[in-house]
């Protein structure tokens, strides 16, 4: 699975949108939208770490 597929699924399951994720994680919402729309297929490790931390996941859980 791709990170955008996982992230879309997790956000839908938790009823969270990209703006909420942005505010909570500190990742700019533009970057999150790029990941969700698969315009950024390889976000940096620091971005992925911030997203995973906010969602209470490990990096592996988010990217696999």
Cβ–Cβ < 8 Å for 5, 37? no
Cβ–Cβ < 8 Å for 27, 51? yes
Going from N- to C-terminal start, the domains of the chain cover 3-63
Model confidence pLDDT, tens digit, residues 24-56? 999 999 999 999 999 998 999 999 999 999 999
Own/partner pairs, 15-18, CB within 8 angstroms, 24+ separation: none
Asked if pLDDT for residue 19 goes beyond 80, the answer is yes
Amino acid 64: pLDDT: 85
The predicted model scores a pTM of 0.92
Asked if pLDDT for residue 1 goes beyond 70, the answer is no
Q: Which CATH class is domain 3-63?
A: mainly alpha
H or E element, residue 10: helix 3-14
């Amino acid at each position: 699975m791709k990170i955008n597929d996982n992230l879309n699924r997790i956000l839908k399951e938790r009823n969270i949108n990209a703006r909420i994720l942005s505010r909570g994680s500190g990742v700019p919402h533009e970057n999150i939208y790029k990941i969700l729309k698969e315009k950024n297929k390889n976000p940096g490790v620091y971005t992925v770490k911030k997203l995973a931390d906010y969602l209470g996941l490990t990096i592996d859980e988010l990217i696999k």
